[in-house]
Structures are given as structure tokens and as C-alpha cells.
Amino acid sequence: MNLTSPYADLTMTQEVFHSNEPLHLESGEKLESFDLAYTTYGQLNEDKSNVIWVVHALTGDSNAAEWWNGLIGEDKFFDPNRNFIICANLLGSCYGSTNPFSINQASGSPYFYDFPQLTTRDLAASLEKLRVYLRIDKIQTLIGGSLGGQVSLEWALTLGQRLSNAVILASTSKTSPWVIGFNETQRMAIESDCTWGECTESAGAKGLETARAIAMLTYRHPDDLAIKQSDSEEKLDGYRPASYLRYQGKKLANRFNALSYWTLSKAMDSHDVGRGRGGVVAALEKIEAKVLAIGVNSDQLFLPKETQYISQKVKRGTYKEINSTAGHDAFLIEFEQLTYFLKSFYLQQ
């Protein structure tokens, strides 16, 4: 359907792709069919050479011009007047794509806790099926941050010469024990919710609030909290950081669900481009596209050296670093720096 976007002063489309072909998963399980909700901005040019494919992060959705409005939109770096921009809601997420609340064809009931395990490779494979359905032979730029960067890296490997440029932001070639540990802590918080295990859409909601609060501490940097959440008056309780984290937890629980969060955080844990390919270095060397890897100097989750490593091991890699106190989430905030890096990257071509 065609909609008028409040974020990019242009017409956009929002559709759902339904695949009747089974998706064979790394776990050995399969989805007999699946849906991917996706949004497009702009139009394909005559030779279909203007495709920009965006992959969202853990709790994102397909409305890329909303959550990345400093980068996507009229007169922005990715302008729908010039580019055909696509963003699909990742498999397992709760914004229109097949997820744990979807109907399991085998049972006729929602999957809930029986939803199959997904990996970043599986997520990339589902996007590839959407690409084929849309008859897009070449992607000019594939761009994603955090989990979206991991999925983009996996997909870049299999796209080969069908991809010209990959932009990987605040991401890694293999999830570190540090990140897995934080993700497991969040899942433990969800497990501690007495409603976890119930077959309802609200199961684990309070636990999800705590999980999000934990996550926010990994998305920010201590300096950022000191700048934005310090208390100006002396007190014994009711501190600003405490209320900020509680607010962020409730905010996510009101728009997301614990089962999708569980599924996608597990997918993040699984990320290893070298699995079954002779190791990370051997896998990265097979990427044909030019790669711009962008780290964040204050990122304490996906360390900048991990992002830089990607640029060092691919055939044609460039590394740039965002300077910000914001921490991991700087890739969603520091639009001026991102635009500058992207402009110089494209000028080199």
C-alpha cells in the first residue's frame, strides 16, 4: 500500500512479503513459510543501480526514515529522490514479520516458546529471498548497525558481486563473550519474571523492562550518563539515572515483547561469519564488496577495535571512527559525522 510518510516528505510503500518456500535454518529446523514486512522509499531508476538496503538493529522496525531520520529522507545523504531505499523487519521481530506469536502451521497455534532458533545467517538468508522476490539484481549499498551490521556482514558474504558497498556500523565479525554475557544477563532477567513460560503476548513483560535497563547501560557510556543524568541537588534517593532506566524499560516493554527480544538476542549471540567457512579471516576475505566499517570511540559493547578488524581483513576495507560520548548508540545519533564518512567513502570510488 502507498502511504504518505511524515518522515521523508515523499511517498513510501509498506508491504508484506510472503514466502511459501521453506527456510532451512542453521539449527536443522525449518520454517515452512514466513513473512517479512518491509518499507520502501523512492523508486528504482532505469538500470536498477540505486538500491540502498538498510538493516535495523535489535528492536528496530522497517520504518528506517523514522529511526534514522538524520540519514534518510529528502535532502539527507540517502535521499528517496535519488535512491530506492528498502528496510525489512527482521525475521523474529514483532513488527509484521514472522515471530514467536505467529501461527505454527504444524499445530495451528502460535509458536510461543517453540519458535525455532535463528542465527544472523538465517536472518540474512530470509532477506536474500526478499531480494530475489523483488527482482533486485544489484544492491548499491547495504548498511546496518549493531545486530543489523552483523546480518549485513553475513549477507555481504553470500551476495558476492551483487553488492557494491557494505557499510557496517558499531558491529563485529563474531560476537564476543562480553556481549554474550550481557545478553544472557538480560535473558536471566526475563526468566525471573513469574509470567515467563505463559503462552500470552504479555509474558515476561516486567522482565523485559529490566532487560532493557541492563541493555541501556551497554548502549551508553559513563560520561554520557554523567552529562545527561546527573542530579544537580543533594539527595538520598530518587536519582535521575534510576528513573531514566525505569522509563526506558517501560518504554520498550510497551512496544516490544520478551519472546522476540529473546529470539533476536540469541541470534546476536550466534554471530560468527567464520562458522563452517574456515574461520573469520577466511570468510571476511571472500567479501567482494567495498566495505566501510565505522566504529564508535566510546562503544563499550561492540568495541571499536572489533569493528576496525573487519576493515583490516576484507579485500577492500576502510575504517572510520565516530567521536562521541554517547557510546554504542552513537551510530543512531551522530548524523553529521556519519554523513561526512559516507561522502568521503563514495568520493573514493
Quick check: is 56 catalytic? no
**28: helix, strand or coil:** coil
Question: Edge-to-edge strands of the sheet including 51-55?
Answer: 2-4, 11-19, 34-41, 84-88, 51-55, 139-145, 163-169, 290-296, 317-322
Helix-, strand-, coil-residue percentages of the chain, each rounded to 5: 40, 20, 40
Quick check: is 18 catalytic? no
**What is the rounded distance in angstroms from the CA atom of residue 323 to the CA atom of residue 297?**
6
Q: What is the CA radius of gyration of the chain?
A: 20
CA 188, 275, 146, 183: dihedral to nearest 10 degrees? 10
Quick check: is 299 catalytic? yes
> Choosing from 56, 221, 271, 328, which is the catalytic residue?
328
> Choosing from 146, 298, 311, 324, which is the catalytic residue?
146
**Residue 14 burial (CB count, 10 A):** 15
Q: Is residue 240 packed enough to be buried (19+ CB in 10 Å), middle (13-18) or exposed (0-12)?
A: middle
**103: helix, strand or coil:** strand
> Choosing from 35, 61, 299, 329, which is the catalytic residue?
299
Catalytic residues: 146, 299, 328
